[in-house]
Amino acid sequence: MPGSGYATISRKKILEFLKKNSDRTVAVADIDHYLKAQDCEVNITTIYRYLDKLAKDGTVIKYVAEKGNQAVYQYVELGHHCEEHLHLQCVKCGKIIHLECEFMDEISEHILKDHGFKLQCKNSILYGMCSACQESK
């Protein structure tokens, strides 16, 4: 199992939840709520520690927005190469879109050439609203 030296029921359930929600970011509170609904009581600190371990081994990406906001996490499919592209996140539903297109390469080159700034793509997020949430306004 990724991110663990041993597999516990709580770790399996956390990973299960992350995989089911890999198209969006999740907060520790989301995981805690899911675990409680599964009759699996886990200390919040245990959830944070396991998420930190998963982030360290590349199984999840940890996004930290502005100071004071809590971190959110996203499960990364094997071979997704999130360090090579930027991400969009819907502020309404939390959906993540991976920008794996040539246009983003042009933007990255422009920023480097004209502004002397190299983008760090792995944990980058541009915030906005996905088309589904725009239509449901």
Annotated binding site: 80, 90, 93, 130, 133
Annotated binding site for Zn(2+): 90, 93, 130, 133
Torsion of CA 11, 15, 16, 20, to 10 degrees: 160
Q: Which of 42, 74, 68 is nearest to 55 (CA)?
A: 74
Annotated binding site for Fe cation: 80
Q: Distance between CA 48 and CA 128 in Å, rounded?
A: 27
